[in-house]
């Protein structure tokens, strides 16, 4: 039986953030004990490896709106409404375009991920914390491999991961579909019972939990900007399929490798 007590930390707000207030005090022992058996560390990309207050995601969101405007000759508001309809119905706007209009994914992904990432800076604390973990580290994203590579590079994390499982690897079926996780487990020979998933979207942790993974919801620090849509933001108490909650991924991970360099406060 996993420890389902949510974990919150007491660190200050990080980059791309508005001023915030301290979170509740840490309870470090429960997650260290639970994660000691983990040999595969799986990370979502957007709003997980960088805070939800950073701007890559809203830039992509705006590029998707623009793409739909070009494609269908729509004004901005109509394009935006269609985009969110597809997103909520199919999990990604791309999935809706592919199924309803036969749109090919390459042009869409190239256009929508062609963003300026200069607001991101190397995250030394996170890099050290991930590097110190024992086992394999993988990215599982609904975005493209190129986007993941460029974003990881901007964050100084490009050398941390064994591989990236992107939306093309998932045959363009996005999380939270069970088939995508099954394909991921098979491709990378992941034993869910010895793996942990870090995600900013709670619904993307339901299937991982059902398959036996430990699950960690990554949330913004109190007071931090959050660019995600209102329906994506989880406001309730953590349900049983979420084992831990953290608003500071680097600090959460550092507790698992006590000998790692202490750079979380710089």
Residue 151 in contact with Mg ion, rule: CB under 5 A: no
Query: Least distance in Å: CB of 200 to Mg ion?
Result: 4
Query: Least distance in Å: CB of 33 to Mg ion?
Result: 27
Residue 47 in contact with Mg ion, rule: CB under 5 A: yes
Of 69 and 214, nearer to Mg ion (C-beta) is 214
Q: Which of 186, 183, 185 is nearest to 170 (CA)?
A: 183
CA distance 142 to 124: 25
Of 44 and 248, nearer to Mg ion (C-beta) is 44
Q: Count interface residues toward Mg ion (CB under 5 A).
A: 5
The piece of 44-52, 105-113, 164-172, 217-225 that touches Mg ion (CB under 5 A) is 44-52
CA distance 19 to 234: 21
Q: How many CB atoms lie within 10 A of CB 162?
A: 12
The piece of 2-10, 40-48, 107-115, 185-193 that touches Mg ion (CB under 5 A) is 40-48
Cβ pair 216, 198 in contact under 8 A: yes
Residue 166 in contact with Mg ion, rule: CB under 5 A: no
CA distances (Å), 223 to each of 19, 49, 78, 220, 238, in order? 6, 19, 31, 8, 19
In a 3-state reduction of DSSP, which class is residue 207? helix
User: Rounded to 10 degrees, what is the CA torsion of 26, 29, 32, 34?
Assistant: -110
Query: Least distance in Å: CB of 143 to Mg ion?
Result: 9
Of 48 and 246, nearer to Mg ion (C-beta) is 48
Among 44, 55, 243, 248, binds Mg ion (CB under 5 A): 44
In a 3-state reduction of DSSP, which class is residue 209? helix
CA distance 137 to 104: 30
Of 17 and 260, nearer to Mg ion (C-beta) is 17
Helix (H) or strand (E) holding 217: strand 214-218
In the chain, what are the helix, strand and coil shares in percent, each to the nearest 5?
Answer: 40, 10, 50
Round the CA-based radius of gyration of the chain to a whole number and report it: 18
Binding to Mg ion (CB under 5 A) within 181-210 occurs at: 200
Query: Least distance in Å: CB of 49 to Mg ion?
Result: 9
The piece of 37-45, 145-153, 171-179, 206-214 that touches Mg ion (CB under 5 A) is 37-45
Q: Which of 223, 194, 188, 187 is nearest to 208 (CA)?
A: 194
Among 46, 55, 243, 248, binds Mg ion (CB under 5 A): 46
Query: Least distance in Å: CB of 106 to Mg ion?
Result: 22
Query: Least distance in Å: CB of 204 to Mg ion?
Result: 7
Of 9 and 200, nearer to Mg ion (C-beta) is 200
Footprint of Mg ion (CB under 5 A): 44, 46-48, 200
């Amino acid at each position: 039986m996993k420890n389902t007590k949510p974990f919150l930390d007491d660190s200050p707000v990080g980059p791309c953030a508005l001023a915030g207030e301290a979170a509740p005090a840490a309870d470090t022992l429960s997650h260290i004990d639970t994660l000691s058996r983990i040999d595969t560390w799986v990370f979502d990309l957007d709003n997980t490896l960088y805070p939800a207050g950073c701007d890559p995601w809203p830039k992509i969101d705006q590029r998707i709106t623009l793409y739909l405007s070009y494609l269908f000759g729509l004004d901005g508001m109509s394009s935006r409404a269609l985009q969110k309809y597809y997103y909520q119905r199919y999990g990604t706007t791309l999935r809706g375009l592919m199924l309803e209009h036969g749109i090919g994914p390459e042009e869409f992904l190239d256009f929508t991920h062609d963003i300026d990432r200069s607001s991101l800076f190397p995250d030394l604390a996170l890099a050290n914390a991930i590097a110190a973990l024992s086992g394999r580290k993988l990215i599982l994203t609904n975005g493209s491999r190129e986007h993941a590579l460029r974003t990881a590079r901007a964050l100084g994390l490009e050398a941390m991961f064994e591989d990236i499982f992107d939306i093309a690897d998932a045959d363009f079926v996005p999380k939270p579909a069970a088939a995508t996780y099954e394909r991921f487990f098979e491709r990378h020979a992941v034993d869910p019972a010895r793996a942990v998933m870090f995600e900013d979207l709670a619904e993307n942790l339901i299937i991982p939990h059902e398959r036996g993974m430990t699950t960690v919801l990554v949330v913004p620090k109190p007071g931090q900007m959050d660019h995600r849509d209102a329906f994506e933001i989880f406001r309730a108490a953590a349900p049983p399929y979420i084992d831990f909650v953290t608003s500071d991924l680097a600090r959460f991970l550092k507790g698992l490798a006590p000998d790692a360099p202490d750079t979380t406060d710089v």
